[in-house]
Amino acid sequence: MLYYLFTYLDREYDMFGAGVFQYISFRAGMATMVSLLIAMIFGGKLIRVLQRKQVGESIRDLGLEGQLEKKGTPTMGGLIILLAILVPTLLFARLDNIYIILMLVSTVWLGAIGFLDDYIKVFKKNKEGLAGRFKILGQIGLGLIVGLTLYFNDDVVVRQYIFTDGGTSAVNASKKYVDVHSMITTIPFRKNNELDYCNLFSFAGPLFQGWSCYLYIPFVILVITAVSNGANITDGIDGLAAGTSAIIGLTLAIFAWVSGNTIFADYLDIMFIPNSGELAIFSLAFVGACVGFLWYNTYPAQVFMGDTGSLSIGGIIAVLALIVRKELLIPILCGIFLIENLSVMLQVSYFKYTKKKYGEGRRIFKMSPLHHHYQKLGYHESKIVGRFWIVGIMLAILTLATLKLR
């Protein structure tokens, strides 16, 4: 909203300094600061409100050191994250941008599902919360909204540069270009790294080639469901999910920045996505919200984010990656989420397999998800979180390196 106000003041009254709001870098920096301040200032007030309302976490005794001490710690702290994302975005981003609209919808949508889950757990005294099938339906619903928008909306375009022989490329190969609606994405570590979803089955003939475009929407649903559930599972010890998400969010902010800037896209020889630069504002507001939340969530946590936060931050990361055409990098960038998810799947599958084969279930890990395995080994929460953050930073650097490693 401030963008439109100061643009008007600059145009009509030539107000001194108003023109600075035209720069994404300035608005992204302001969004980060405001996000941090909201999370840190209003976070404490919200925690006190949650304490008065007795919105405490019910803890199951899993035999983990220090676990029962957390009983009664306020949950639903994800409201702090949501507030710290939405307010700066509404203030500093261009609200007519299709990508910003998608991000706002995604944040509110999954935040509402997570809030409903937490509400049922806390106020209805149902430890199971919202039934799993309804969570999945909500994630599928968001996947349909995002997938259909990216697939059909005419404002979702990439720049195609035209060769002298009439061919096209998403990297800067010519001064002639056209912005086209296309389902191309980026394949990491390849020199000619464009993949068009519509050409996945071109070898099978024109009939299958036409249908392969529609596989994009189920793929979007899969990505959003997997990443949001991965973030949800990772949110098991103080500061782990928020810190990991901040690292991922900063990486995606860089991708949004370079993908939406013709100079950087030209220099790095990557796909230019018109209007995607605005996502840097949202992404940095997201980073500020996660870092500000860590003020209260690092060990020993004064508040838990609950599903209100964990489902929404996972969905936000997934949709951001899809918009900047870096969804194939998610297994690397979100490696922490992936390994946490896999640890649960492997544990459950192996237990069922051995129980069927030997009559007694056996385990790969002492406990899943993986962070609980290390707790069982005697590692302190802070050490586990710190080391997971270090791994997350390494994965983020490797992800950024794909801009040049081909």
Closest CA to 270 of 404, 175, 108: 404
pLDDT value of position 123? 81
pLDDT band with cut points at 50, 70 and 90 for residue 13: confident
pLDDT in tens, 248-303: 999 999 999 999 998 898 888 888 999 999 999 999 999 999 999 999 999 888 99
0.75 surpassed by pTM = yes
- What is the chain's length? 406
pLDDT in tens, 44-78: 888 888 888 766 666 565 656 656 666 778 888 99
Q: Between residues 29 and 179, which one has the greater pLDDT? A: 29
Look at residue 186 and give its three-state secondary structure.
strand
pLDDT band with cut points at 50, 70 and 90 for residue 161: confident
Average the pLDDT over 399-406 and give the result. Answer: 88
Percent of the chain beyond pLDDT 90? 59
Q: Is pLDDT at 18 greater than 90 in this prediction?
A: no
Could you tell me how far CA 212 lies from the centroid of its own chain?
A: 26
Q: What residue type is 122 in one-letter code?
A: V
Q: Rounded CA gap, 89 and 94, in Å?
A: 8
Closest CA to 343 of 367, 313, 312, 308: 367
Lowest mean pLDDT: which of 32-41, 234-243, 266-275, 387-396?
266-275
CB atoms within 10 A of CB 13: 9
pLDDT value of position 56? 63
Average the pLDDT over 169-198 and give the result. Answer: 77
Q: Are 56 and 102 in contact (CB under 8 A)?
A: no
pLDDT value of position 165? 55
Q: Between residues 190 and 329, which one has the greater pLDDT? A: 329
Q: Between residues 25 and 236, which one has the greater pLDDT? A: 25
Q: Between residues 234 and 125, which one has the greater pLDDT? A: 234
Q: Are 81 and 312 in contact (CB under 8 A)?
A: yes
Percent of the chain beyond pLDDT 70? 90
pLDDT in tens, 346-398: 999 999 999 988 888 899 999 989 999 999 999 999 999 999 999 999 999 99
Q: Are 183 and 198 in contact (CB under 8 A)?
A: yes
pLDDT band with cut points at 50, 70 and 90 for residue 106: very high
The Cα angle at residue 50 between residues 315 and 110, in degrees rounded to 5 = 15
Closest CA to 384 of 238, 280, 261, 251: 238
